[in-house]
């Protein structure tokens, strides 16, 4: 008879050590450009992120979307090189150069092998300081943007997001209109309008630059002194962000049904007020709540709507900070025949008081947020993106470390108080689906006024 060898005892697993966001070197160029550099050994592709405070509210109303066209044509020709030549220079040096627009301004991305960082910065400087915005290139991107808008209007979830804006925000708020402009405003954009916006808004003072990667042997201040230091600052009032903010409409708490005859599913998009990153309850509470309520397959919403009811493949929810205040947004697609019970159940779930949160679900969400942070910020591009986003919001990168410290000690009482502070039950609900099939039943729920919009509307 053989004797079985006893198995060794299961090894103990200790909690991982607390992670902190890397500390950058910070300095300012003579032209006012604020710089942060992160030395990340082994990251041989350097990520450069530039944030220019050109808020959407600064766009002329008749050509809203001009910042988007500017960002798309920034590298489409300079005084020294036309669009084709610039594309060749970027390709030969292995430089990725792109740009986009957010609420707070224009964001420019540059990724390049560390050995070509100087060449990449030279090309970036050329695009920032001497762009020509040729008429043919601007016209091409205007056509592309118009095609994008038409595609968004035809896609039900994109349409829901577009319809949410004028329903939630007051008409006087820039946020009530698409960030990339409407069909009418984009069609009015000319190369001269783009040049004028560039002259007024694109300056180094008040702008932020982040450089992240393996900077061994790289003299970043010297490289910037040879390149971006040549970017001339603007006047005292040029590019200054306009005063005021985006306000919620008085009649925002209502249901809008966008008619999509014969649709086999209904796309839901709901929102209410939310916090900004400076909320007194701490941003960490809202990161945990986002995950616990609607940020994973194990969240409250998916557990009921997907697993128990089978209404949907998934519903996502999360808090979205803005410059001042923010939003809590919920979105998902449900079976057409489940439209009414799905909406009713969803609103019931969202009506929970903060005291309904359990210690177990809060701890599970908090552990995930805290313990996955090293992986989330493992690459130079993600780290640089986070740093530039915080800088554009007037925050230093120690905000991430302080937030994670709060997350690691999060409890149900703190998370519940944060939930109750903003989620007040005054929902703006957009549903894109068959109005004839669902309109009367949605109204019968008694959840608020119901407006039917025809899907042929323009935005």
Q: What domain range includes position 383?
A: 255-454
What percentage of the chain has pLDDT greater than the value 90? 92
Final residue belonging to a domain, choices 184, 215, 230: 230
Which of 116, 9, 103, 114 is closest to 58 using CA atoms? 103
- Is the residue at 105 inside a domain? yes
- Is the residue at 78 inside a domain? yes
Identify whether residues 106 and 187 lie together within a single domain.
yes
Contact yes or no for 229/147 (Cβ under 8 A): no
| pLDDT score for 458 | 53
Identify whether residues 106 and 202 lie together within a single domain.
yes
User: DSSP letter at 393?
Assistant: T
What's the mean pLDDT in 358-363?
97
Segment 225-282, tens digit of pLDDT: 999 999 999 864 555 555 456 899 999 999 999 999 999 999 999 999 999 999 999 9
Q: How many Å is the Cα radius of gyration of the chain?
A: 25
Q: Kindly tell me the number of DSSP H helices and DSSP E strands found in the chain.
A: 17, 12
- Is the residue at 181 inside a domain? yes
Identify whether residues 291 and 184 lie together within a single domain.
no
- Is the residue at 225 inside a domain? yes
Structure-token pair, residue 440: 């009367």
| pLDDT score for 457 | 53
Identify whether residues 186 and 107 lie together within a single domain.
yes
Final residue belonging to a domain, choices 196, 230, 264: 230
| pLDDT score for 246 | 80
Taking CA atoms, 248 is separated from 237, 241, 245, 276, 323, in Å, by 28, 20, 10, 15, 14
Rounded CA separation 64/58 (Å) = 9
Q: For residue 106, report the phi and psi dihedrals to the nearest 5 degrees.
A: -95, 135
| pLDDT score for 232 | 94
Taking CA atoms, 8 is separated from 5, 12, 15, 193, 358, in Å, by 9, 12, 21, 73, 36
Cα 62 from chain centroid?
Answer: 25
What's the mean pLDDT in 162-179?
97
- Is the residue at 459 inside a domain? no
Which of 73, 112, 108, 107 is closest to 96 using CA atoms? 112
Identify whether residues 261 and 379 lie together within a single domain.
yes
- For residue 455, pLDDT over 80 is answered with no
Identify whether residues 152 and 109 lie together within a single domain.
yes
| pLDDT score for 4 | 78
What percentage of the chain has pLDDT greater than the value 70? 96
Identify whether residues 221 and 272 lie together within a single domain.
no
How do the residues of the chain divide into helix, strand and coil, expressed in percent and rounded to 5? 45, 20, 35
Q: How far apart are the first and last CA of the chain?
A: 82
- Is the residue at 241 inside a domain? no
Segment 88-111, tens digit of pLDDT: 999 999 999 999 999 999 999 999
Identify whether residues 335 and 372 lie together within a single domain.
yes
Segment 46-75, tens digit of pLDDT: 999 999 999 999 999 999 999 999 999 999
Identify whether residues 225 and 259 lie together within a single domain.
no
- Is the residue at 5 inside a domain? no
What's the mean pLDDT in 29-55?
98
Identify whether residues 291 and 344 lie together within a single domain.
yes
Q: What is the CATH number of the domain that holds 61?
A: 3.30.830.10
pLDDT-based confidence at residue 403 (cuts at 50, 70, 90): very high
Rounded CA separation 303/296 (Å) = 9
Query: In 372-422, where does DSSP find H-type helix?
Result: 373-376, 380-392, 398-408, 412-422
pLDDT-based confidence at residue 136 (cuts at 50, 70, 90): very high
Which of 243, 245, 238 is closest to 206 using CA atoms? 238
Contact yes or no for 248/324 (Cβ under 8 A): no
Residue in the structure block whose two tokens are 């762009």 = 131
Cα 404 from chain centroid?
Answer: 20
Segment 117-129, tens digit of pLDDT: 999 999 999 999 9
Q: Is 443 buried (19+), middle (13-18) or exposed (0-12) by CB count in 10 A?
A: middle
Identify whether residues 215 and 325 lie together within a single domain.
no
How many domains would you assign to the chain?
2
pLDDT-based confidence at residue 1 (cuts at 50, 70, 90): low
| pLDDT score for 236 | 47
Q: For residue 36, report the phi and psi dihedrals to the nearest 5 degrees.
A: -125, 135
Final residue belonging to a domain, choices 180, 214, 230: 230
- Is the residue at 200 inside a domain? yes
Identify whether residues 132 and 94 lie together within a single domain.
yes
Please give, one letter per residue, the 3-state secondary structure of 138-171: HHHHHHHHHHHHHHHHHCHHHHHHHHHHHHHECC
């Amino acid at each position: 008879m053989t004797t079985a060898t006893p198995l060794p005892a299961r090894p103990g697993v200790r909690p991982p050590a607390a992670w902190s966001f890397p500390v950058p070197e910070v300095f300012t160029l003579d032209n006012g450009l604020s710089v942060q550099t992160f030395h990340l050994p082994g990251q041989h592709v350097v990520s450069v992120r530039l944030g220019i405070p050109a808020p959407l509210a600064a766009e002329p109303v008749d050509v809203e979307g001009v910042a988007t066209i500017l960002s798309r044509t920034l590298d489409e020709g300079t005084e020294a090189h036309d669009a084709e030549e610039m594309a060749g220079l970027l390709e030969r040096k292995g430089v990725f150069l792109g740009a986009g627009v957010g609420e707070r301004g224009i964001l420019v991305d540059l990724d390049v092998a560390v050995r070509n960082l100087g060449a990449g910065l030279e090309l970036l400087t050329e695009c920032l300081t001497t762009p020509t915005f040729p008429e043919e290139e601007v016209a091409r991107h205007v056509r592309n943007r118009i095609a994008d808008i038409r595609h968004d209007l035809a896609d039900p979830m994109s349409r829901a997001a577009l319809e949410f804006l004028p329903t939630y925000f007051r008409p006087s708020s820039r946020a009530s209109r698409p960030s990339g402009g409407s069909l009418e405003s984009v069609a009015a954009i000319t190369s001269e309008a783009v040049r004028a916006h560039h002259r007024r808004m694109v300056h180094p003072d008040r702008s932020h630059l982040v450089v992240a990667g393996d900077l061994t042997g790289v003299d970043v201040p010297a490289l910037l002194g040879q390149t971006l230091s040549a970017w001339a600052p603007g006047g005292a009032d040029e590019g200054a962000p306009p005063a005021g903010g985006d306000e919620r409409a008085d009649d925002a708490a209502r249901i809008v049904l966008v008619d999509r005859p014969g649709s086999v599913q209904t796309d839901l998009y709901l929102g209410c007020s939310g916090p900004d990153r400076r909320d007194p309850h701490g941003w960490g509470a809202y990161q945990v709540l986002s995950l616990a309520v609607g940020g994973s397959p194990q969240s409250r919403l998916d557990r009921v709507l997907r697993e128990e009811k089978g209404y949907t493949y998934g519903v996502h929810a999360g808090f979205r900070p803005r410059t001042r205040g923010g939003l809590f947004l919920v979105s998902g697609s449900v079976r057409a025949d489940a439209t009414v019970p799905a909406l009713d159940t969803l609103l019931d779930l969202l009506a929970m008081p903060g005291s309904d949160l359990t210690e177990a679900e809060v701890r599970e969400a908090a552990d995930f947020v805290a313990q996955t942070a090293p992986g989330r910020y493992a690459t130079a591009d993600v780290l640089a993106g986070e740093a530039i986003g915080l800088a554009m919001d007037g925050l230093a990168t120690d905000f991430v470390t302080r937030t994670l410290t709060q997350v690691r000690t999060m409890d149900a009482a703190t998370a519940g108080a944060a939930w109750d502070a903003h989620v007040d039950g005054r929902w703006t609900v957009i549903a894109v689906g068959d109005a004839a099939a669902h309109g009367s039943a949605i109204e019968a729920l008694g959840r608020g006024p119901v407006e039917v919009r025809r899907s042929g509307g323009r935005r």
